Amino acid sequence: MFKAILIEKTGDETDAKLVDLDEAQLPQGDVTVRVAYSTLNYKDSLAITGSGPVVRSFPMVPGIDLAGVVEASDNPAYSPGDKVVLNGWGVGEKHWGGLAERARLNGDWLVPLEPAFTLRQAAAIGTAGYTAMLCVMALERGGVTPEQGEVLVTGAAGGVGSVAVALLSRLGYRVAAMTGRPEERDFLTSLGAVEIVDRAEYAEAGKPLSRERWAGAVDVAGGHVLANVCAAMRYGGTVAACGLAASMSLPTSVAPFILRGITLAGVDSVMCPRPRRLEAWGRLARDLDPAKLEALTSEIPLEEVIPTARKMMAGQVRGRLVVPVLGAES
């Protein structure tokens, strides 16, 4: 038996509970992992609270991240005792995820733990941090360099945003952090932000073009926020878009694209090919300050995941939330 968060559906209602499950109930897969750490992400909170159509089949164990130790493997790439990490691939949506003491998975979804990280650190980075790194890589591919000017990060107090601020700052960029929570100013400046931008300035419908301000941007919001960010990009700038925390819509015009030559680069972390995943994790090992990672990380026990998911949906959570499921490093 093992403990897990389980989401069930009756009619149109979903209900999440902490339950005991039998290992025989685990889904198919060629690698079984003893989960040391999982996380609570925005997507997990959507699933747990039933606030969005994240879960594709029921019952479902949420948790798009896990870091743990292989217990059993029929996959030639992994052996018992190997330390592994999983992010995305529809886990927690279509396949049982990491908010459980055991997970059975397709070994092709796993990546080996980077030697620079402990299992806890890898979980603290999780999908949010790995997505932030993919966004930084997208800006670099777009030719955005520190010399070109300020880079904006929206949703900066959240998981993706906080890691993006820390990464960009360490790489020498001048980072502006957008948030709707002014009380997070000290937190964001401690991560390396040199300017705090009030989200309210970007939250309503704006002009097709506004004053050129940003050389690059990482956006987790979508909607009017993303539209206004695009309108304020400098000539040739790049926006890496990876989220829809504000809206799935994009009420903008072609003006920034055809008059200023900006690029809107979509960043997907769920189905991202393995070579780019490995590149992102290698870059994180090199470019992420462990002290800043620790500063933006908090822990919650498995028993507090469900009420904390409600707080996250209410915008009352900052940084990364690690869930020490078994908490064993070996």
Query: Which residues form the domain of 316?
Result: 2-113+300-324
Q: In this structure, is residue 206 part of a structural domain?
A: yes
Q: In this structure, is residue 275 part of a structural domain?
A: no
pTM (two decimals): 0.91
Q: Does one domain contain both 12 and 81?
A: yes
- Tell me: pLDDT of 328 over 80: no
In b/e form, how buried is each residue of 165-186, taking b as 16+ CB within 10 angstroms?
bbbbbbbebbbbbbbbbeebee
Q: In this structure, is residue 295 part of a structural domain?
A: no
Q: In this structure, is residue 216 part of a structural domain?
A: yes
Residue the block writes with tokens 């999440």: 16
Among residues 242, 266, 290, the one where a domain terminates is: 266
- Tell me: pLDDT of 130 over 60: yes
Q: How many of the other CB atoms lie within 10 Å of CB of 9?
A: 14
Residue 22 pLDDT level (bands cut at 50, 70, 90): very high
- Tell me: pLDDT of 293 over 60: yes
Q: In this structure, is residue 201 part of a structural domain?
A: yes
Q: Does one domain contain both 89 and 206?
A: no
Residue 52 pLDDT level (bands cut at 50, 70, 90): confident
Q: How far is CA 145 from CA 123, 139, 148, 172, 287, in A?
A: 29, 8, 6, 9, 15
Q: Does one domain contain both 237 and 130?
A: yes
Give ∠ CA 15-21-25 in degrees, rounded to 5. Answer: 100
For residue 240, give every residue at least 6 positions away whose Cβ sits within 8 Å of its Cβ, in sequence order, or none.
Answer: 134, 135, 136, 138, 139, 142, 216, 217, 218, 219, 265, 267
- Tell me: pLDDT of 320 over 60: yes
Q: In this structure, is residue 152 part of a structural domain?
A: yes
**Helices (H) then strands (E): counts for the chain:** 9, 15
As a whole number of angstroms, the distance between CA 139 and CA 240 comes to: 7
Task: Give pLDDT tens digits for 90-124.
Answer: 999 999 999 999 999 999 999 999 999 999 999 99
Q: What are phi and psi of 213, to 5 degrees?
A: -135, -45
- Tell me: pLDDT of 257 over 90: yes
**Tokens in use for 123?**
């979980």
- Tell me: pLDDT of 159 over 80: yes
For residue 23, give every residue at least 6 positions away whose Cβ sits within 8 Å of its Cβ, in sequence order, or none.
Answer: 1, 2, 102
Q: Which helix (H) or strand (E) holds 286?
A: helix 274-287
Task: Give pLDDT tens digits for 191-229.
Answer: 999 999 999 999 999 999 999 999 999 999 999 999 999
- Tell me: pLDDT of 241 over 80: yes
- Say if CB 155 and CB 323 are below 8 A apart: no
Q: Give the pLDDT score at 12.
A: 85
Q: Does one domain contain both 149 and 97?
A: no
112 closest CA partner among 159, 70, 50:
70
How many domains does the chain fold into?
A: 2
Residue 245 pLDDT level (bands cut at 50, 70, 90): confident
Q: Does one domain contain both 109 and 163?
A: no
The per-residue DSSP string of 147-186 comes to GG--EEESSTTSHHHHHHHHHHHHTT--EEEEES-GGGHH
56 closest CA partner among 43, 39, 66, 68:
43
Q: In this structure, is residue 120 part of a structural domain?
A: no
Q: Does one domain contain both 224 and 309?
A: no
- Tell me: pLDDT of 330 over 50: no
- Say if CB 36 and CB 119 are below 8 A apart: yes
Q: Does one domain contain both 64 and 176?
A: no
Q: Give the pLDDT score at 234.
A: 98
Q: Does one domain contain both 205 and 318?
A: no
**Three-state secondary structure call for residue 257:** helix
Considering the chain, what is the average pLDDT of its residues?
95
- Tell me: pLDDT of 297 over 80: yes
Q: In this structure, is residue 118 part of a structural domain?
A: no
Percent share of the chain, pLDDT over 70: 99
Quick one: average pLDDT of 273-278?
94
Percent share of the chain, pLDDT over 90: 95
Q: Give the pLDDT score at 7.
A: 97
Q: Does one domain contain both 167 and 42?
A: no
Q: How far is CA 31 from CA 22, 69, 83, 108, 157, in A?
A: 17, 10, 12, 9, 35
- Tell me, what CATH number does 76's domain have? 3.90.180.10
Q: Does one domain contain both 103 and 201?
A: no
- Tell me, what CATH number does 190's domain have? 3.40.50.720
Q: Does one domain contain both 176 and 88?
A: no
Give all strands of the β-sheet with 151-153 in edge-to-edge order: 195-198, 175-179, 151-153, 214-219, 233-241, 263-266
Quick one: average pLDDT of 154-173?
96
Q: Does one domain contain both 248 and 153?
A: yes
